[in-house]
Amino acid sequence: MLIPMKEAQRVDFTTYEEYTSAENKLELVEGTFLPFNNERQKMIMLCLYNMGISAFISLLPQESKEELFHLIQQDLKK
């Protein structure tokens, strides 16, 4: 299981193969990107792991950062 951290982490080829979609092809079906077998979730985890949470957050517009902050607060209360 990949655990994204604050800073970027290297990805080896075995992990890349495990977390990318079948045949390394991207799919869009009825408006849903990577719709099968948790491919979207796996790709997001791989990207977050490789780029780091800090870099990801820096890409977000302020509105998204605020929404993320509220969602994390709600999730931590559970």
- Residue 29: inside a domain, yes or no? yes
Q: Which residues pair with 32 in a beta bridge?
A: 29
28 SS3 class: strand
- What is the chain's length? 78
Please give the tally of structural domains in the chain: 1
In the Cβ-directed half-sphere of 78, how many Cα atoms lie within 13 Å?
5
Q: Residue 11 has what pLDDT? A: 96
- Residue 8: inside a domain, yes or no? no
- Residue 7: inside a domain, yes or no? no
Confirm if 30 and 22 have CB atoms less than 8 A apart: no
Q: Residue 78 has what pLDDT? A: 84
- Residue 56: inside a domain, yes or no? yes
Q: Residue 76 has what pLDDT? A: 94
Q: Which domain holds residue 28?
A: 13-77
Q: Residue 28 has what pLDDT? A: 77
Q: Residue 8 has what pLDDT? A: 97
b/e map 2-25, b = 16+ CB within 10 Å: bebeeebeebeeeeeeebbbeeee
- Residue 6: inside a domain, yes or no? no
Enter the pTM of the model: 0.85
The pLDDT averaged over each successive group of 10 residues in the chain (78 residues) is 96 91 77 80 94 97 97 93
